[in-house]
């Protein structure tokens, strides 16, 4: 009951903040930025894989949100609306910077996947490889994967956020995961060995 | 084991399946090693993806302040109702007005006819409201020429009278109702869809 009340109050506050921001009140918009900054930064970071680029793209995303706030409909989720802008901003930022694909992504296939002390990469190295594998995905599939895996959005929410049918969400997610499984096969094998 | 459920494993992993499909996948996984192995690999992948930590971004307060400083000084004025928007909301109002007008006209017409039938109106008023007897003209003409006779002539005259008097009213009301329902459908679609966010240049 308490959480329901808290959520209701948050929604009411957010609706009020949106109305005030739509009327040009910058402080109200700043409050909205504070509320949603972490989520937007995370989405963009998962899309870009670079901290500094993420902050630049997040700033760009919030500026776009400010400029287009009049087109936002309060009946829909502000978070999801911001996520859509964030995904667009991240994609544009990567294009602008002529995304440099990681050199060693193809080398992942060559890594020895057999269990053994010599083939165990450090946690940090594994993290780096996973991140690079995610970066190698096509933009459309990566956006769906990020919203599902890291932000926990439902298929329906992803569908409305990215304005694509639920069937497309499913196929893109399927494609992304299959590609990642193939690229990260050695790491997955090591993970299974560690968990045995 | 046939009828693998591979295509539903992602949705199953994400908790997106319900009812029949959920039971089908659960039952199949309990029996099929191939699909179970595939599902395990999906779970491992999800675990691996979550090993990548989110970075520690700078203070959100500072980030919000920076964004505030970067916001354009002059933004577009708050949304004003465009002519299109006003016209859009006038559609249901207009349709309801037309429907009320039609219904009222029919009701008044029926009441006056009933009053006339009961002889409650004087001759002058009755002559004013009584319809010119041009109904069933075609059928009467056919009757005069002997094409239609007796029951068939009476049936044809009744049909023509119905077609001339009642059918237009029904068609008109149904058309108004259909237009209104179409408007509601379009309104619902507009409500559930967020307009695309225009991209900035650069």
Q: B60-92: string of b/e by CB count within 10 Å (b at 16+)? A: eeebbeebbeebeeebeeeeeeeeeeeeeeeee
Give pLDDT tens digits along chain B (202 positions). 567 888 899 999 999 998 889 999 999 999 999 999 999 999 999 998 998 888 887 788 888 888 988 888 655 555 566 777 888 888 888 988 988 888 888 888 888 888 887 877 776 666 666 555 555 566 677 777 777 667 777 777 778 777 777 788 888 888 888 999 999 998 888 777 666 555 443 3
Q: Are residues A153 and A180 in the same domain?
A: yes
Using a 10 angstrom Cβ sphere, with 0-12 exposed, 13-18 middle and 19 or more buried, the burial of residue A40 is buried
Confidence of residue A115 (pLDDT cuts 50, 70, 90): very low
Using a 10 angstrom Cβ sphere, with 0-12 exposed, 13-18 middle and 19 or more buried, the burial of residue A183 is buried
Per-residue model confidence (pLDDT) at position B202: 35
Q: How many CB pairs under 8 A join A and B?
A: 145
Q: Are residues A74 and A46 in the same domain?
A: yes
Whether B43 is in a domain gets the answer yes
**Cα-to-chain-centroid distance, residue B89:** 15
Of B7, B45, B71, which has the smallest distance from its Cβ to A63's Cβ? Answer: B71
Domain interval for residue B134 = 84-192
| Domain count for chain B | 2
**pLDDT tens-digit map of A65-112:** 999 998 898 888 999 999 999 999 999 998 887 655 554 444 444 444
How big is the CA angle at A89 (ends A25 and A184), to the nearest 5 degrees? 140
| Domain count for chain A | 2
Q: A163, B195: Cβ pair inside 8 Å?
A: no
Q: Are residues B43 and B138 in the same domain?
A: no
Per-residue model confidence (pLDDT) at position A1: 45
**Which of A67, A100, A133 is a domain's end point?**
A100
Q: Are residues B20 and B113 in the same domain?
A: no
Short-list B59, B63, B62, CA closest to A58: B63
Whether B18 is in a domain gets the answer yes
Residue indicated by tokens 């190295």: A125
Per-residue model confidence (pLDDT) at position B141: 74
**pLDDT tens-digit map of A145-195:** 999 999 999 999 999 999 999 999 999 999 999 999 999 988 777 776 666
**pLDDT tens-digit map of A123-148:** 778 888 898 999 999 999 999 999 99
Q: How far is B12 from chain A (nearest CA, A)?
A: 11
Q: Are residues A90 and A108 in the same domain?
A: no
Per-residue model confidence (pLDDT) at position A99: 58
Per-residue model confidence (pLDDT) at position B34: 92
Q: Are residues A174 and A87 in the same domain?
A: no
The Cα–Cα gap between A147 and A161 comes to 9
The Cα–Cα gap between A93 and A114 comes to 38
The Cα–Cα gap between A41 and A86 comes to 8
Q: Are residues A19 and A9 in the same domain?
A: yes
Whether B186 is in a domain gets the answer yes
pLDDT at A62 over 60: yes
Q: Are residues B161 and B115 in the same domain?
A: yes
Per-residue model confidence (pLDDT) at position B158: 78
Domain interval for residue A41 = 1-100
Using a CB-CB cut-off of 8 Å, the residues of chain B touching A59 are 63, 66-67, 70
| pTM for the whole structure | 0.63
Q: Are residues A93 and A28 in the same domain?
A: yes
Per-residue model confidence (pLDDT) at position B77: 56
**Which of A41, A74, A100 is a domain's end point?**
A100
Q: What is the CATH number of the domain that holds A107?
A: 1.10.10.10
Q: Are residues A34 and A128 in the same domain?
A: no
Q: Are residues B39 and B106 in the same domain?
A: no
Confidence of residue A4 (pLDDT cuts 50, 70, 90): very low
Per-residue model confidence (pLDDT) at position A112: 45
Per-residue model confidence (pLDDT) at position B162: 75
**pLDDT tens-digit map of A9-46:** 566 588 899 999 998 889 999 999 999 999 999 999 99
Using a CB-CB cut-off of 8 Å, the residues of chain A touching B67 are 30, 33, 59, 62-63
Per-residue model confidence (pLDDT) at position A91: 92
ipTM of the complex model: 0.79
Q: Are residues A146 and A86 in the same domain?
A: no
Of A154, A174, A191, which has the smallest distance from its Cβ to B48's Cβ? Answer: A191
Per-residue model confidence (pLDDT) at position B28: 92
Q: Are residues B94 and B37 in the same domain?
A: no
Q: B72, A123: Cβ pair inside 8 Å?
A: no
């Amino acid at each position: 009951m308490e959480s329901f009340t808290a959520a209701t109050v948050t929604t009411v506050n957010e609706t009020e903040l949106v109305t005030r921001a739509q009327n040009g009140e910058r402080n109200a918009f700043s409050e909205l930025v504070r509320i949603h900054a972490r989520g937007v930064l995370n989405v963009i970071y998962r899309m870009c894989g670079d901290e500094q680029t993420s902050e630049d793209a997040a700033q760009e995303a919030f500026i776009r949100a400010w400029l287009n706030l009049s087109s936002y409909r309060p009946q829909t989720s502000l978070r999801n609306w911001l996520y859509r802008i964030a995904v667009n901003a991240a994609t544009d930022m990567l294009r602008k910077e002529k995304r440099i694909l990681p050199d060693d992504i193809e080398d992942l296939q060559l890594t020895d996947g057999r269990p053994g002390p010599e083939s165990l990469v450090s946690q940090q190295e594994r993290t780096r490889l996973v991140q690079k594998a995610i970066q190698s995905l096509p933009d459309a599939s990566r956006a769906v994967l990020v919203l599902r895996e890291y932000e926990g959005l439902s298929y329906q929410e992803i569908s409305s956020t990215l304005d694509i049918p639920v069937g497309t969400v499913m196929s893109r997610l399927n494609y992304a995961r299959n590609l990642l499984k193939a690229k990260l096969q050695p790491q997955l094998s090591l993970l299974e060995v560690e968990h045995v | 084991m046939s009828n693998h459920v591979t295509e539903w494993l992602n949705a199953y992993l994400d908790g997106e399946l319900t009812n029949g499909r959920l039971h089908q996948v659960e039952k199949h996984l309990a029996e099929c090693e191939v699909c179970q192995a595939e599902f395990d690999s999906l779970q491992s992948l999800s675990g691996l993806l979550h090993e990548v930590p989110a970075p520690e971004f700078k203070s959100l307060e500072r980030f919000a302040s920076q964004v505030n400083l970067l916001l354009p000084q002059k933004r577009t004025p708050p949304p004003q109702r465009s002519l299109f928007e006003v016209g859009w909301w006038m559609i249901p109002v207009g349709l309801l007005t037309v429907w009320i007008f039609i219904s009222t006209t029919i009701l008044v017409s029926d009441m006056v006819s009933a009053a006339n039938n009961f002889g409650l109106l004087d001759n002058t008023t009755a002559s004013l409201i009584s319809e010119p007897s041009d109904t069933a003209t075609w059928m009467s003409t056919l009757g005069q020429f002997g094409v239609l006779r007796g029951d068939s002539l009476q049936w044809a005259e009744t049909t023509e009278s119905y077609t001339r008097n009642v059918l237009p009213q029904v068609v008109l009301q149904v058309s108004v109702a259909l237009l209104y329902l179409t408007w509601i459908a379009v309104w619902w679609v507009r409500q559930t869809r967020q307009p695309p966010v225009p991209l900035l240049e650069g």
